[in-house]
Amino acid sequence: MSTHYFIAIPIEATELVAVQQAILPYYSYRRIYRPDEFHLTIQFLGDIDGEELDEVKEITRRICQDIPPFTLTFRTIDNFGRADRPRVLTIVPDASDSLQRLAVALRQELVELIPRLDRKAFVPHVTLAKKWDTGERIGYVPPEFNITESVEEVVLYEVQPNHTPSYRAVEVFPLRRPEEDIWQSRLKFLT
């Protein structure tokens, strides 16, 4: 069995769990994502070999050093698939120039490294559930919410389909820290 990888932003906002729990009774899914599996995929890599993996790490590290931390805001429930039986239930962030810049920069360099790379349009989302089970979707009014997530790192994950959680962090890539944060860290150390 081959090993698949993807690059993503871990989503840790605990408020997402409340939103997920509030809307799941109106749907029927076989696969419900756990809070420790919430993430926003920037680029699915698929099956890559060891040499490609090392180059992916280098590219990701370099690009992350050029992107300062940013914030995502989530206010919308969405889905992929038929309206009455959506195959994937998601929560989507508001438009973010920083997120787009990060995704475009990574894809441009990764496509050169891995020509077979998945080139589907980047549609930022956090999957809450997938794989429709049985029955019909029940009509409901989605809850109102306004959840923010500070993005300070990007993670290279390995897919582990027979484990819980089903993703393992291979390497973490911090985004560029503002100069002020660096100096405050140094001052704390000195005092």
Rounded alpha-carbon distances, angstroms, from residue 52 to 34, 55, 57: 30, 5, 9
Task: Summarize pLDDT for 57-99 with one digit per residue, the tens.
Answer: 999 999 999 999 999 999 999 999 888 889 999 999 999 999 9
Task: Summarize pLDDT for 7-17 with one digit per residue, the tens.
Answer: 999 999 889 99
How does 169-184 read in b/e, with b if 16+ C-beta sit within 10 Å?
A: eeeebebeeeeeeeee
**List of domains in the chain:** 4-190 (3.90.1140.10)
Is the CB of residue 70 less than 8 Å from the CB of residue 42?
no
Number of H helices, E strands in the chain: 4, 9
Catalytic residue numbers? 39, 125
pTM for the whole structure = 0.88
